[in-house]
Structure 1
Amino acid sequence: MAGIIEISPAHRNFSRYDIRDIITFSVILGKDASCINEDLVTVLGENAPSIPTIRKWVKDVSEGRDGMEDEPCPGRPVTACGDANISKVLVPWSDDRRKTCEEISKDTSMSRTSAFRVLTNKLNNNKKFSKCVPYLLTDELEESRVNFSRNFLGRFQTEQNDFLGRAFTVDETWVYYWDPETKRQSAERRDFDEPRP
C-alpha cells in the first residue's frame, strides 16, 4: 500500500522526552489527543503513553508550556539519611551493636525504617550472627597439660584417697557476663567487610 511506512523495532525505542516532543509537534500541527494517541500506538504499540497522559501534555502545551522536564513533585523531601539522623543513630548503635532497629528508633524518636536505612545505606553495615569457635590450644599448652595429667596420675597411684581430698580443678576459659540464649540474640550490626563476632 502506498503511504504506509514500516517502522523497524530499532526505531520504537523513544525516551519520554522524545514522546513529549512528538506530542508538542502534533499539537502545533493541530491534532487532538485521540489522534496523537492513535499515532503513538501505531508506532510504539504497548509502550505508548496512556490517553490521560497524552491529554495532560496536550493541555500543558496548549497553555504554553515550553520545557519537557518533569515539574518538582510537592511533598515532604526524603531526609531519613541526612547527616542529623546519621549522628542520632550513631550514638545508640556505637553503645551497643546488638540493638535492634526498634530499640534504636525508640532512642532516637525516628521510624524503624528510617533507622534501618541509615544503618544499612549510610553506615554500610548489616546483622551478623555470632559463631561459636572452640577453644584452640597451642602445642606448648597441649604438652604441658599432658605432663600435668601424667604427674597427677602418678600421685594418685601412690597417694590414693589422700590425693583426691586435696585436689581441685580450675578451668582457664573466660566466662562473659552475657550469654545469648538464641542465635538472634547474638546478632550485632557490623560493617560489611568485618568478620562475625
Structure 2
Amino acid sequence: MQPKSIFDDLCTALRDQAPSYNTVVRWSKLCRDGREEVEDEPRPDRPVTETTSDNIENARHLIDNDPYLTIDETQVEAGLSHGATQRIVFDHLKLKKITARWIPNQLTDSQRAERVRICQENLAKFKHGTWRLCDVVTASGETPPTVVRRSHFASKTLFCIFLKTTDPVLIHHVERGQTIDHDYYINNCLQPLVNEIKKQRPSSGTHAIKIHHDNARPHAHKDVSTYLESQGIMKMLQPPNSPNLAPCDFWLFDLIKENLTNQRSSVSLHRAVTKVMFSINDDSEQLDDELRNNLKVYRTA
C-alpha cells in the first residue's frame, strides 16, 4: 500500500489529528525495511538530570537578556541538550513564542539606505495627503495567526488575512497540505479580495486601492504584479531584506492570539478568528493608530 493511500485513509479517519505525510512516509519505509516494533528505539540522549535548578536559572538569565533567542541558540549558550532546553523553557519557565520577528543582521550600508528611503517615501505620501490610509489593504502574508494542537501530530492551521483600517476585507483559510505559490495566491486570495472590495465599494471599486504585503515569493511574482495592475491596484513598496517589517507582525497576530480560546476543529477556529477580526472593527480608530505607528517605525528602521 502506497504512503499516499495510507495518509489519505488516516486523514479521513483522524481528521486534524492525523500524522503528517512525511511521518507516514517514514513509517512506511520502516515497515518495508522489516521494522515491527511500535515503540521508539533507545536514544543516547543526555539524562534528565540536566534539568537542574542551576540550568533553569541560567536559561532564564539568557532569555531575559535576549527574548528573541531560539531554542537552538539557547541550547548552545547553556550547553544543554535540545530536549533539556525545551523542557526548561516550556515546562519550568512556562514560556511560549507568540510572534517571531526576523531581524536582518547583516544589511549592507546601501541596503539600509534603501530601506529607510522606501519607508520615508511611503510615510510622506500619507502625511501630504497623496494617499489615504483607509485605501490601503494590509496583507498578513502566509504567517499563521495561531496554532492549535490537540496532539503531537495535530497540524497547523493557516490563514491569509487582508484588512483595512475600516474593517477586515478577506479571511482565507488555507487547507491542510496546500502549497501557496503565485497561482494559488492569485486564484484563492487576490481574486476573492478584488471581488470583496468591489462589493464593499460598489461605486468606486478598486480605485485608489493599494495593497501592502511583504516580499514573499508568491507576493513578488511578476504574474501577481500583472494581475494587480490589471485590477487597478497599486503595490506599496516594501523594503527589501526586511521581513521584520511585515505589517501584521507588529501587533495583529498577538492580538488575535490573546482573544482566542482552544478550538475543536479548523472550522471552529476559522469562525473564531473571523469573530476576533470583526471585533477589531468596533474600534477602527485604534486600528488606524496602529497602522500609522507601524509606518512611523519604518522611518527609523
Pairwise same-fold verdict (TM > 0.5): no
Higher-Rg member (1/2): 1
Q: Normalized against structure 1, the TM-score is what?
A: 0.29
- TM-score by length of structure 2 reads 0.20
